[in-house]
Amino acid sequence: MTWDVAGTSAAAYAPTVRILLSTDGGATFPTVLATTANDGSEQVTWPRTGTEQARLRIEAVDNYFYDVNRADFTIESPVRLTVPASAAVQHSDPLLDGEGEPLTVEVTGADAETLDALEVAVTGISGVSAVRRGDTGVFDLLGGLTDAPGTAEATVTVTGPEDLLVEESFPVTVTPEDLDVRWTGPSVAQLDEPVTLSVALTEPDDGSAGDPRAAAVTLVDRDGGELCTATTAGTPEAATASCTMMSLSADSCIILFTPWIMRRTTSYLGFPGLALLTSWRKLCRVFLKL
């Protein structure tokens, strides 16, 4: 690299300069490439850190003046990192490809010694880590993802010898965990008396168990009016959600409950809220001859 000394090499100014590298567009200059005579040129070795926002700063040693190059430039690391374009996963499930195998990231351009010294970290999502596959540069992304439903940005960071640093990111869409629901409440209820409504919650066999006890369950009528908010109990494999609906305002009629449709509502800890819609018809005292 070269620079214009511009008469600053005299002993009173800057006979010695320090050459610094930034990889974030000049916001910081953490890497010292060389400390050398202020003679206008120096051969430097780039660190193995890839960036498209490199800048150089030459500053006087034991003096206050410096200069920075005017535009970003690119440093291509010999070590490359390949990550998935995107991923979609249910809460608590592992990241899998279309064939049901773990998603992977791959490091290329590194020799065997460098590969053995690499550290690969996954941030931005929870519950997932990178595990090297044998002596290759392939790393499996393992573990059940525990982030709440939504979109997250997974960042894979590779660090190693000689200031090696490579990062790549990809979006991850997290959806609520599947949950099987079955009506277990009464089929007949007396008006003007409380009635307990209930559903059975079962964790499906989808390869990674969640906990149905964490589901938020609300029972509503066919018009969407809330009947009651349920509480859950049971085991991680199967649970029951139930709540008591207070008496309905009608004159001594009987209500027949019939499961109508299931729909999703809010989510909690990764599970969809499940609303059991019911339809009913009234059978009045006169028709039952009570």
Q: Are residues 84 and 134 in the same domain?
A: yes
- Which neighbouring-strand residues pair with 259? 278
Residues 186 and 108 in one domain: no
Q: What is the pLDDT of residue 118?
A: 93
**Looking at residue 248, what is its pLDDT?**
54
138 with 160, same domain: the answer is yes
How confident is the model over 38-59, as pLDDT tens digits?
999 999 988 877 888 999 999 9
Tell me what pLDDT residue 268 has: 42
- The reply to whether 64 and 129 lie within a common domain is no
When divided into structural domains, the chain yields a total of: 3
Q: Look at residue 1 and tell me if it is in a domain.
A: no
Residues 93 and 158 in one domain: yes
Dihedral Cα 121, 123, 125, 130, nearest 10 deg:
-10
Chain centre to alpha carbon of residue 263: 25
Domain end point (choices 175, 197, 216):
175
Q: Does residue 165 lie within any of the structural domains?
A: yes
Q: Take residue 203 and report the two structure tokens written for it.
A: 């964790």
pLDDT of residue 208: 59
Quote the pLDDT of residue 107.
Answer: 95
Name the domain boundary from 75, 102, 124. 75
Q: Could you give the C-alpha distances from 192 to 248, 253, 258, in angstroms and in order?
A: 5, 8, 19
- Answer yes or no: is 212 within a domain: yes
Same structural domain, 166 and 230: no
**pLDDT the model gives residue 214:** 73
Shared-domain flag, residues 106 and 163: yes
Residue 217 DSSP class: B
Query: Is residue 211 located within the same domain as residue 241?
Result: yes
Indicate the DSSP class of residue 57. Answer: E
Residues of the chain with pLDDT under 70: 191, 206-210, 224, 247-290
What is the residue range of 46's domain?
Answer: 16-75
At residue 213, the 3 state secondary structure works out as: helix
Contact 50, 44 (CB under 8 A): no
Q: Long-range contacts: 30-35, Cβ < 8 Å, 24+? A: 31/163, 35/61
pLDDT at 133: 95
Instruction: Give the chain's mean pLDDT.
Output: 81
How far, CA to CA in Å, does 144 sit from each of 8, 111, 174? Answer: 60, 31, 11
